Structure 1
Amino acid sequence: MPMTALRGRTIGWVVCTVAIACAAPAGADPVDPIPGNGFFVVGPDVAPGLYRTGGSASPFGVWINDVPTQESMCVWFTYSTPAPETDHVVSTNMSVGPMYANINATVQSFESRNCQPWTRVP
């Protein structure tokens, strides 16, 4: 940094510091509706409750021997841990059509794949 002169006298180095106040992000409200794809922790991400979806978000369905393929279906999971571990699945379901998911306070997380958004049922 340059030295500062005052009437021909050097008074030293000028040091500028900038203080930036950083606030922690305010706690966001749980999402409603819940997006059709994603993993969500119960409490901070989604509120416990009963949710409904219109079903699969696929623009078209693929059926083999009168059975829809997994890629054509909406699937959801609730877990007993805050991580998507298959050993800790509490409940799951899949469908091409409308369905419900009960995200109760005893589960830790919720995962949704290929679904339309989930809206909370009052």
Structure 2
Amino acid sequence: MTAGAPSGPPEGPLRQDGRQSSASPRPLWGRLSKGVLTHVAAIVIGFAIGAVAGYAGAGGSTDTPATPKVTVTATSTATETSSTDSSGTAQKARSGEIPGDGTYVVGKDIEPGTYRTDGPQGGLVPNCYWARLSSTSGDLRDIIANGNTKGRTTVTIASTDKAFTTTGCNRWTKAD
């Protein structure tokens, strides 16, 4: 070894002339450009704002629970015709029975009295829906009584009822 030669690796960056610089190396954050730091800071701030907004929007306060707004819309079309079968042909109610889906006018299509059904027809709709109606206007307020059953059902249709509607039920037969 020579007297002027270093004994190990250089301790700092070399200058262009090959000699060692006396300046110490810059740390990583010092070597990053201001543009990169600006972008990283913007991302971190964006995540922080999103987290706060998400927490507040999700009902961040435990004092008052969020209450969803519910809108109910009922649409019904009532007709004064007998029900139709799968071919579109109108079914006429025989005396003492209600053949199936449809709206039936009391005193014209069906007689007042007590009727029974074995329940739903099956298939896609697992329930049997029925309603006694004070009018055939289709308004929700026209329902005197109704039900949505899964088994045998008995309903008494009064002579003062205007109509009876049924959906998804087997044939209704008069019980009295």
TM-score between both structures, scaled by the size of structure 1: 0.63
Deviation at 1:81, TM superposition (A): 1.1
Task: Work out the percentage of aligned pairs sharing the same amino acid.
Answer: 28
1:116 aligned partner, one-letter code: N
The superposition leaves residues 46-68 of structure 1 with CA deviations (integer Å, 9 ceiling, x where unpaired) of: 000000000000147xxxxxxxx
Matched, 1:33 2:97: yes
- Residue 89 of structure 1 corresponds to 143
- Residue 50 of structure 1 corresponds to 114
How many Å separate the matches in 1 of 2:94 and 2:141?
26
1:54 aligned partner, one-letter code: D
Provide closer, same or farther for how the CA distance between residues 96 and 45 of structure 1 changes in structure 2, counting only shifts above 3 A: same
> Which of the pair is proportionally richer in helix?
2
Query: RMSD in angstroms over aligned alpha carbons?
Result: 2.0
Runs of 4+ deviating beyond 2 Å: 28-32, 82-85
What secondary structure sits across from 1:87 in the alignment? helix
Higher relative contact order (CA closer than 8 Å, sequence separation 6+): 1
Residue ranges of structure 2 left out of the alignment (5+ in a row): 1-91
- Residue 76 of structure 1 corresponds to 130
TM-score between both structures, scaled by the size of structure 2: 0.45
What secondary structure sits across from 1:39 in the alignment? strand
Residue ranges of structure 1 left out of the alignment (5+ in a row): 1-27, 61-70
Computing the radius of gyration from Cα coordinates, the structure with the larger value is 2
> Which of the pair is proportionally richer in strand?
1
How many Å separate the matches in 1 of 2:135 and 2:110?
15
- Residue 73 of structure 2 corresponds to none
- Residue 74 of structure 2 corresponds to none
